Each structure stands twice: as structure tokens, then as C-alpha cells.
Amino acid sequence: MDIIETIKEQIANNTILLYMKGAPNAPQCGFSAKASQAIMACGEKFAYVDILQNPEIRANLPKYANWPTFPQLWVAGELVGGSDIIVEMAADGSLQTLIKEAAANAAAKTGA
């Protein structure tokens, strides 16, 4: 499968998806640490892709997303942004609202 198709599939199949360096419980950079902590504080399950383990995704996602840096948060198929945006949204409460609504909508669609 083409790497862009893989990226599209990951985004489509995961309501809340963080592309990051490392894992949420073991981030490999400060920006990924801040982003994953802010998302975890929202209390919803989310998927992540460790771009350090996936060099093809690391190389191609910035072109696909038209966003040059990592981490990247995708919610309901839309790019939210990187670490600074995630932290700002967490501070003003909009991140929690966005993530809770996306998780509730996904649960309603699947009947969970």
C-alpha cells in the first residue's frame, strides 16, 4: 500500500490520532510530551503513531498535511495542529470540548 494511502487510512480509522515522537507514556521530545499530556488529560482514548518507528510516515505526512512539524493531532479526520496549538487549546478548554465531542460522535456512529 502506498504510504499516503496508509496515512489516509490511519486518519480515517482513528477519531483521535496523534503523530508524535515516541509514545504517550514515553515521549521522545518535549513537544510530543506536552501534546500527549494535554490529550491524555482530556480522558478519552486516542491512537498514536510513533514517527521515529515509521520513517516513511515521518517523511511524507508533512507534505500530505501541509504541516511541517511534529507532533500533529488529527481529530475526526481534520488536522488540529501541533504542540503549541494543542497546549493553547488545552489551556482555554477547547481541546477537551473538541476531543469529548469527537469521541461521543464516534461512539454514536459505532453504537458503542
pTM comes to 0.95
For residue 23, the surrounding DSSP H or E stretch is strand 22-23
C-alpha cell at 36: 500527549
* 58 labelled ligand-binding: yes
Number of H helices, E strands in the chain: 5, 6
Residue 1: its pLDDT value, please?
A: 74
Structural domains present in the chain? 3-110 (3.40.30.10)
**What three-state secondary structure class fits 71?**
coil
Q: What is the pLDDT of residues 1-59, one digit of tens each?
A: 799 999 999 999 999 999 999 999 999 999 999 999 999 999 999 999 999 999 999 99
Give the Cα separation of 94 and 70 in Å (integer).
20
Q: What is the pLDDT of residues 44-103, one digit of tens each?
A: 999 999 999 999 999 999 999 999 999 999 999 999 999 999 999 999 999 999 999 999
Give the Cα separation of 91 and 86 in Å (integer).
9
* 8 labelled ligand-binding: no
Query: In 3-state terms, the chain is what percent helix, strand and coil (to 5)?
Result: 55, 20, 30
Nearest to 79 by CA among 93, 96, 98, 97: 98
* 50 labelled ligand-binding: no
Q: What number of other Cβ atoms are within 10 A of residue 53's Cβ? A: 12
* 70 labelled ligand-binding: yes
* 32 labelled ligand-binding: no
**What three-state secondary structure class fits 75?**
strand
